[in-house]
A and B are shown apart, each in its own frame.
Chain A
Amino acid sequence: MEKKSKPTVRLLWELFFTLFKIGLFTFGGGYAMIALFENEFVSKKKWMDHDEFLNMVAIAESTPGPIAINSATYIGYKQAGVLGSALCTLGVALPSFIIIYIISLFFDAFLAISWVASAFRGIQACVVFLIFNAGVKMLKKIKRPLDVAVMIATILCVVLFSVFAIKFSTIFYILIGALVGLTTYFIGLLKKNDKEESAK
């Protein structure tokens, strides 16, 4: 699928425009975008087959950063190299940027209207629910007892530190998580080795 020849201007424009369109019409972030990506990349444009699409989603989900940006960079690179990936990333981010920037100019004035401020107080309760819901969705994928313990410990630490105004960077939690993952993996390896040794 990789194209080695120099990408045409037409392909570059098509990449940019397709991603711009996806960025403009997807509400609700990354996961909502995946369905649109599949429709455009696999069904319509035939830029990749279904297996490669699943591979792309797996990479996009497990590498840092927004899933939409990861997927855009990936498809752009596959189709037209570094320039293609830059244009795709720009394309998918640009609609958001323009729309949010314009909103941000008027947002404070908008919130100064009494009933708008009231509406947003209601909406804040909804945001609590939306974030809780997203957390619960991730929670359902957690199976191992150790992972459940790590998750509960994270929740307790974050909430207590926040209430008692103790600063502890979110990044540290993520690094500790990676460390726990690696440690359990290596302990698993050692145990396996021991068993093999004693079997001999």
Chain B
Amino acid sequence: MIYLELFLTFFKIGLFTIGGGYAMIPLVREEALNFGLTESEIMNFIAVSESTPGPIAVNMATFVGSSQGGILGSAVATLGVVLPSFIIILLISALLKNLLKYAGVNAALSGVRPVVAGLILATSITMFLSVVLGLGTIADGVSFDWRAAVILGMVWATSFGYKKWKKKAVSPILLIVTSGVLGVVFYELLK
């Protein structure tokens, strides 16, 4: 039953995402791969989720849900990802007002934080291997995509230059649009 599976999967993702939007990407990626989506499909979903309004988690849940089970699939996936938050916050507001003051809870959270940072960095590394070196698993072998490497370099330079020039971080949407234009130039015009 795909709907129950979507609901439970995203409920689990909602329950184990600590630290907001990006922290959920490693979890969604893993489950989406299990559902049979490819790395590049997942990255497209992330790009669209980043450049449309709203919480990334909800966007990703709706997207993956829709790809697996249409409108009902996207509804149950979204409900699933939202429900743990909803229940936990209600419990805290109504009953456990001092939950965050317990030393044990803080100790567990402080142990989770470096793991989440590691998971996010590792996700970017595996995606880098896939996009630039065409390496999913060792069985795939390596095929270097110089265009992806150049685009990645230019995106980094844009972000770095913008920060030096404007003294503030560049918006992800501007970077996505820039890289989209570069994609058209390198993959379409310079074929």
Contacts and interface: CB of A to CB of B under 8 A. Distances in A.
Interface of A: 23-31, 33, 58-70, 73-74, 77-78, 82, 85-86, 89, 92-93, 95-97, 99-101, 103-105, 107, 111, 114-115, 117-136, 138-139, 141-142, 147-148, 150-155, 157-159, 162-165, 169-171, 173-174, 176-182, 184-186
Contacts of A66: 14, 17, 20-21, 24, 55-58, 81-82, 85
27 contacts: A29-B22, A62-B18, A64-B85, A74-B93, A77-B89, A93-B78, A93-B82, A97-B62, A99-B52, A100-B62, A107-B48, A115-B184, A118-B186, A120-B44, A123-B180, A126-B152, A127-B43, A129-B152, A130-B50, A130-B176, A131-B124, A132-B124, A132-B128, A135-B121, A147-B110, A159-B122, A170-B119
Given A30-B21, A65-B14, A180 B179 contact: no
Interface in B140-186: 147-149, 151-152, 155-156, 159, 171-173, 175-176, 178-186
Interface string B116-148: 111111111111110110010111000000011
- For A64, A99, A111, which residue has the most chain B Cβ atoms within 10 angstroms? A64
7 smallest beta-carbon distances between A and B, as pairs: A122-B183, A181-B111, A154-B118, A96-B54, A65-B85, A177-B115, A185-B107
Contacts of B21: 29-31, 66-67
Contacts of B86: 69, 73, 85-86, 89
Interface in B13-67: 14-22, 24-27, 30, 40, 43-44, 46-59, 62-63, 66-67
B2 interface: no
Given A63-B89, A138-B120, A170-B119, A119 B18 contact: no
B112 A101 contact: no
A70 B85 contact: yes
B183 to A, nearest CB: 2
B118 A122 contact: no
- For B17, B24, B108, B138, which residue has the most chain A Cβ atoms within 10 angstroms? B108
Contacts of A141: 113, 117
A130 B121 CA distance: 10
Contacts of B138: 163-165
Contacts of A165: 137-139
Contact of B47 (A127, A139, A162, A181): A127
Interface of B: 12, 14-22, 24-27, 30, 40, 43-44, 46-59, 62-63, 66-67, 71, 74-75, 78, 81-82, 84-86, 88-90, 92-94, 100, 103-104, 107-129, 131-132, 135, 137-139, 147-149, 151-152, 155-156, 159, 171-173, 175-176, 178-188
